[in-house]
Structure 1
């Protein structure tokens, strides 16, 4: 642990030993020390984002066992948003101060590259300053299959149509033993990493994620981190790492295995120590709640996530933690940090040096979970 605090690289064996045996509070202090060294004069700042997750379809052929959101093709509860509805939701987000849209959805068998290009171009034409941090490695694999293209061709066309960066969606766990158990129809972990590496080399950065708690071993958790670090060594294209926990409601796994908050905080801290080549570490309030989110800022995280103006996928499986912008700022400030709104590139949009810098309370600026298939009149 002291070697990591001093700035030396630790290997996977050492990371596993820290994850399983290091005293919890000492591990947190070590991760916080590494965070403070990395951010230097900005170490007192913790960031948040205002964004909207727009799920364009719930139709999916992948049928992941942990997912409560998808419906198979031709299911009576299946739906796909029109471009007009997607633009309407983008407009609402912009009006509320969002700087980013995360467009994600199921692997619909009828949606090829042309559909995604049309959506991205329409958004960029209507809202040129709105960042499209959207899709992920799994969507690229799916589009390549449906459209008969290579991964590189898909990425270039999405980029040219307006995609700014990829989300870390679809990573789940990259170790194939467990990945095959929870998502047998999804691409392998190696293929997901291949897509991300290809994107990075084409100038499209991304985030990396990890869904923990589906039955993976401690060693597999560390191996997931190792695989990400290995690609990052070659490309430098992962902007942030975002671990979150599997949610047990309404899916086939049914919560037979779960990750505890302590396991999560230990993983967060080890990620800060081990992923020495990834700058930003985001804690998942959505799946663990505000208290654990705030604690994460003392276990290596520099970012508290977003005020999600809409989220439908993880909440379908039971994540019901909600907060508004004022609560987000309060959580950061009472953790002893200075709150700052950021953009997708982690540049500061607004720093709340004192409470006088906080915006007026707006009840609309809150995380919102909805059944958009029911809510929207324009779903087809």
Structure 2
């Protein structure tokens, strides 16, 4: 395509964005063309970002809990999983889980992000018990737990419906769901990555059911492996269509693939330029999702900072005890201080604002950082 044609095509897309008209599949694929200047795509995404979220950069104070790495599935992209008899395999005890909750409370965490392997020797009651134990012992901490893949496994274990499992977990103390397990929805790609685990239909149906019973959820996309631009845009449109129906997604997180220690370690991980282009395109395509998160653990601190000008309005949190992406070669720190997070956001020219898991303002006591309350929903 001649340069003049590229410019004319981009102007069409810019006109759509400026008039708040929805972008099409072809629009999204075009924006992935390397001949389209990344800076211009970023500027367009920043227009949407500031329209939706002003100059704010959100963060939270959170910790991760991965109760087990033993897993029945053997996804090609995963470096975290372990076989039952593998020396690195583990399953946490109740005492270890309570200790993690105590540590989170003492460090002022508002959220615990709980995901792990599908341990075929652990019954559904073990997984439910983790939520119930933490909720009873530390009721103020929001428990964001279990991907759709795990909920699908619990359906298999209990022989109950999606709604029954989700409601039972909610009764135990589940506060919301993370967005993991989405990977890439298109079967051409999904079958290469994780052919045996919850398929696209199941993932979408589980999140729809969660939204219907009042649970907010996140959504994700794993990019930079065997997929192409078409598969990424198809994925974003499927998320957008579900959001049209339910409105239950609160944030989208594009996840950069880390190949080290996986069965796809021959693939080079995405460049920072691809990370920023994907962030920007995600902001442009997902016109009905309020927040876009630059997950610094996967992107690296510098790229996550830059992403705050490429469509992202959230940098995630302090992220204590993250294992899954560090096992896959992430070289980022395992925890950032609150002052460091605020400094990164301010350095990027944004106003740092602490939020809780469901995007309410967090208010902390001036003389005791560990004491906090959630206030009104965040707004521009």
TM-score of the superposition, structure 1-length normalised?
0.89
The answer on whether the counterparts of 1:61 and 1:107 sit within 8 Å (CA) in structure 2 is yes
Are 2:45 and 1:31 aligned?
A: yes
Matches within 5 A, 1:350-369: none
Find 1:343's aligned residue among 331, 339, 356.
356
Who is 2:161 aligned against?
150
Which consecutive residues of structure 2, in runs of 5 or more, have no partner in the other structure? 1-13, 370-380
Shift of the alpha carbon at 1:257?
4.3
The answer on whether the counterparts of 2:143 and 2:173 sit within 8 Å (CA) in structure 1 is yes
Change (3 A) 1:13 1:359: farther
Q: For residues 139-192 of structure 1, what are the alpha-carbon distances to aligned partners after superposition, in whole Å with 9 as ceiling and x for unaligned? A: 011111122222221111111111011100111111121111111221212211
Question: Secondary structure at the residue paired with 1:90?
Answer: helix
Q: For residues 43-77 of structure 1, what are the alpha-carbon distances to aligned partners after superposition, in whole Å with 9 as ceiling and x for unaligned? A: 12111111111000011001111111111233343
Question: For residues 149 and 109 of structure 2, what CA distance do their matches in structure 1 show?
Answer: 25
Change (3 A) 1:111 1:149: farther
TM-score of the superposition, structure 2-length normalised?
0.89
Shift of the alpha carbon at 1:217?
0.6
Matches within 5 A, 1:289-304: 289-304=300-315
Find 1:128's aligned residue among 121, 139, 144.
139
Shift of the alpha carbon at 1:2?
2.4
247-256 vs 87-96, which moves further = 247-256
Who is 2:3 aligned against?
none
Find 2:112's aligned residue among 101, 113, 118.
101
Question: Secondary structure at the residue paired with 1:243?
Answer: strand
The answer on whether the counterparts of 1:71 and 1:77 sit within 8 Å (CA) in structure 2 is yes
Find 2:85's aligned residue among 71, 74, 81.
74
Who is 1:19 aligned against?
32
Are 2:172 and 1:161 aligned?
A: yes
Are 2:316 and 1:305 aligned?
A: yes
Question: Secondary structure at the residue paired with 1:310?
Answer: coil
The answer on whether the counterparts of 2:259 and 2:329 sit within 8 Å (CA) in structure 1 is yes
Question: For residues 170 and 18 of structure 2, what CA distance do their matches in structure 1 show?
Answer: 38
The answer on whether the counterparts of 2:216 and 2:358 sit within 8 Å (CA) in structure 1 is no
49-58 vs 174-183, which moves further = 174-183
